[in-house]
Structure 1
């Protein structure tokens, strides 16, 4: 096994060295523990994929370095009626194939995002219709007043209607069903970088867009993105100079990266909350020793799981202090976060009592789905949770796998117990409410509420929050909705992980709290 790993590492370093020889001084080589699963910007609502695709595709409204709103493909926007926003589109913009960008592309893209196979339905579930006013003006009508619509659509990327039609990519790639199309491997956006080469799981190469409408602050002419799943290999590649940027740094290696003369660790808080979810809908769990009923429908079981998890132990022993235990499904930096809410105490004895009261004094067995290349120490966290739950006689069958197979499975809701992380792209709690906590419907509400938690009172509050313009009243309703969800033990919040990027001292970049990595702000010294 050791010899095999050495051979794999040698082959990887040879490939990276070859890329170095052919690359120019303004080539930046990036490594990540995982890969973007598709070049289709509507196929997976996952941060790494959205971040990667955002360098090729653009939304109407983007973000500045401080995460404030910035004009992108729209130069201005305003409400013309309580349920209508008008967007003035940027003129003179071309897709990478030279096709002019117009209102037709916006209308097409929003319809595509709401269509079959799209993973962006939840983001756009409030959109009723997108109408072309003229070639450079669109109206977006929502079902109800939506005062923060510009914040909501910052990851709703615009595709070329003509290109999608010409390449039989009118519908999004459906990761749940394993359906691919031209948009999986090719791309035609308006962004600052073009896709030159795509080898899924091996490497993806981007080149600077010489006809980009805007300013590209960085000097990077080429970006070579390589997934390196093995932590030690990824760190070694950075320390040896084979890659210029990598993330995440394993928490135990941050000091080592800082000690190395040519590298540094760029760290900061992340907006993502990592949590566990449970199937609360099926009458019988799919993957459990319990037959004929679903123990997760019983709040006492959910609370027992919660109180059996030693979150401080996970912070100390698994995350090496690089996490912030959370009592809510959102964390600091998200509007609506309430620091006064505290976690239920870690108490295995109380958890055992709850299990006995629920009729499971001897526990039960259940499968747990977990990625091993998506979040910081994700599989190790799941292992720790499994060990914790063993203390209350719950036997976890841990299924840790690469996100390429993990996400399609859990997004089909083919799971009983799972891990997920969520960053509200609006930096507002309503995003998490709509995606994770409201009752699931066919329009995209609760699209990532994979355990189908449902409380009609939470739904009612979410609808009121959406249309409320008074911030004080709005935040009071957010607090009430979270209180209901917390009392229900709707999910098991774990923590916000910390960002840790390994960066060559020759590279300048901007680290955003949403863990997006814009190539246009990256430079490398010759």
Structure 2
């Protein structure tokens, strides 16, 4: 356990009046780092977006609004001009300028040892032009109509604090200088983070003078902490606990349809798949997951409606793609795969596995309370078609690193889409390339040059109708290949004690500013 105290801020916290309002939150997963560019995932974002701001703000309805950027416009096919918000200061007192944005764009794709960073967000940018302190231009390698949406998740960091700084410097607090609604007081790895309100924040004044984010990976422990009054607000309550919390007047449940798809990533890169053997435990001479028929068999052997109804208890909706059905980017021609175990057996036999094989599915032990349960249910479904399945849950920090290295046969992840299908195409489906900044979250090793080319054409097409049509075509191509095995779309839930409300959002990270004191 590592505890970091940011000295000057600690003194401010100690000097707070006794009646100061403090919010205590219990969340399901600890961040992999305080460094906002180290891992593009919910656990890190819950911390990052309270300390740092983005140029473009993702609203609770998952649309894009001004953040540190007040306005943006294309001044040429390959140039975006952004006007920055004036009178913004970093928590060390220095002014925020366009030079900090230029530094952020340079840093984001170059963080060492990242388990899935933000290179895809800045992928189109070839040059950053600082026009003046509050004006910046992004020169792109072609038209980039979705640039603002794609950059809405990229936290802006200070050049002075971040230049030469390592991820560990952010963890110690030395580089954790932001412009966000809160500032860092103390970070205790895997235990909790303490924050204090940034009185100079440019946004509306939050209700809370300070906040503590406690990391409680066990869903029952989170609910118990809420019931006992140890915390004021929790994320991702277990579906088992929702009826009790909804019926108890001492608590409130806040929900909204989410953007996050839960999916399986079958390893298609390895010649000999890890964690795949015959029924006697001997490694197979070739990787069955490289065969499209095997991936199709595994997909249609899953009863998604049963998962949504029984495992998720109607807190999720089956899906056959990564865009939710309420999104305008959803492709209605890509249905939820029909549950068909008999056809699954035939496909396995056609692929040369009439007796099936053994496989292990790996999941994060600390991301969502339902992942391990859902994986166990899927394992039973696969076992019935001859694919004898074990499930292993791994703490997230180790899990994320090993999955990034394609060390698993099948892993389970979530992906929250934005307003178009292209960001997932770049990060989840395009061939991994550090040079092209593609495939940062490609945990299946999937590679289809035709899809890569279609993605590039779509994302540089200015005509909205043509671009949407190409993206729908790309969705169909990736799903026909079974690049991933989509499962279901989550509904986002938070629960709070009486006296605290939470503005539920389509994204599933937790912002302190969304929590309010009931008036």
TM-score, normalization by structure 2: 0.91
1:361-402 deviation digits (Å, cap 9, x = unpaired): 221122221112213401111111111111122122322122
Residue 284 of structure 1: CA displacement?
1.3
**Is the 1:196–1:207 contact (alpha carbons within 8 Å) kept by the matching residues of 2?**
yes
Could you tell which deviates more after superposition, 279-288 or 322-331? Answer: 279-288
Given the alignment of the two structures, is residue 219 of structure 1 paired with residue 207 of structure 2, yes or no?
A: yes
* Partner residue, 1:48: 43
Deviations 1:440-467 (A, max 9, x none): 2223212111112122221222112112
2-structure distance, mates of 1:454, 1:471: 27
- Separation (CA, whole Å) in 2 of partners of 1:202 and 1:363: 43
The SS at the match of 2:153 is coil
Aligned to 2:288: 295
- CA distance, structure 1, for counterparts of residue 452 and residue 192 of structure 2: 42
Partner of 1:8: none
Whether 1:479 aligns to 2:472 is yes
Looking at structure 1, the residues matched to 450 and 369 of structure 2 have their Cα atoms a distance apart, in angstroms, of 34
Q: Is 1:266 the counterpart of 2:254 in the alignment?
A: yes
Structure 1 position 254, deviation (Å): 0.7
Task: Report the CA distance between 1:285 and its aligned residue.
Answer: 1.0
Shift of 1:257: 0.4
What does residue 374 of structure 1 align with? 367
Q: How far apart, CA to CA, are the structure 2 residues paired with 1:47 and 1:333?
A: 21
State whether structure 2 residue 422 is matched by structure 1 residue 430: yes
Q: Give 1:343 shift.
A: 2.3
Q: Residue 110 of structure 1 is aligned with which of 92, 105, 117?
A: 105
**Equivalents in 2 of 1:45, 1:277: separation in Å?**
17
Give the match for residue 184 of structure 1: 171
The one of 88, 96, 100 equivalent to 1:93 is: 88
Q: Is contact 1:271-1:333 (8 Å) kept?
A: no
Which position in structure 2 is the counterpart of 1:163? 161
Shift of 1:70: 2.1
Structure 2 gap segments, 5+ residues each: 1-13, 278-282
Q: Is the 8 A contact 1:239 1:260 kept in 2?
A: no
Contact preservation (8 Å) 2:60, 2:507: no
SS at match of 1:54: helix
2:171 and 2:187 in contact (8 A); partners too: no
Structure 1, unpaired ranges of 5+: 1-18, 174-180
Are residue 64 (structure 1) and residue 51 (structure 2) matched?
no
Question: Deviation at 1:204?
Answer: 0.6
1:199 to 160, 183, 188: 188
- Listed as ranges, the matches of 1:384-399 within 5 Å are 384-399=377-392
SS of 1:251 mapped into structure 2:
coil
Within a 5 Å distance, the mapping from 1:358-507 to structure 2 comes to 358-424=351-417, 426-442=418-434, 443-507=436-500
Q: State how far apart, in whole Å, the 2-side matches of 1:460 and 1:51 are.
A: 34
Q: Distance in 1 between matches of 2:194 and 2:233?
A: 15
SS at match of 2:443: coil
Q: Is residue 230 of structure 1 aligned with residue 203 of structure 2?
A: no
CA distance, structure 2, for counterparts of residue 247 and residue 339 of structure 1: 31
State TM-score, norm by structure 1: 0.90
Q: Name the CA distance, whole Å, in 1 between partners of 2:355 and 2:379.
A: 16
Q: Cα gap change, 1:489/1:249 in structure 2, threshold over 3 Å: closer, same or farther? A: same
Map 1:109-148 to 2 at 5 A: 109-117=104-112, 118=114, 119-148=117-146
The structure-2 alpha-carbon separation of the partners of 1:75 and 1:490, relative to structure 1 and needing over 3 Å to count, comes to same
8 Å contact from structure 2 (residues 61, 506) kept in 1 = no
**Cα pair 1:271 1:513 within 8 Å, conserved:** yes
Between stretches 400-409 and 336-345, larger displacement belongs to 336-345
Render the CA deviation track for 1:162-202: whole Å, top value 9, x for unaligned.
Answer: 1123xx41x5x3xxxxxxx1112421101111111111111
Q: CA RMSD in A?
A: 2.0
SS in 2 for 1:450: coil
C-alpha deviation, 1:430, in angstroms: 0.8
Q: In 2, Cα distance between the equivalents of 1:398 and 1:364?
A: 15
Change (3 A) 1:91 1:199: same
1:261 CA drift (Å) = 2.3
- For residues 268 and 103 of structure 1, what CA distance do their matches in structure 2 show? 35
User: Number of paired residues?
Assistant: 494
1:23 is displaced (CA, Å) by 7.3
Task: Give the secondary structure class of the aligned counterpart of 2:259.
Answer: coil
* SS across alignment from 2:373: helix
Q: How far off is 1:523 after superposition? A: 2.2
Question: Residue 252 of structure 1: SS of its match in structure 2?
Answer: coil
Residue 151 of structure 1 pairs with residue 149 of structure 2: yes
Provide Cα deviations, 1:291-333, integer angstroms capped at 9, x if missing partner. Answer: 3311111111111111111212212221112110001122134
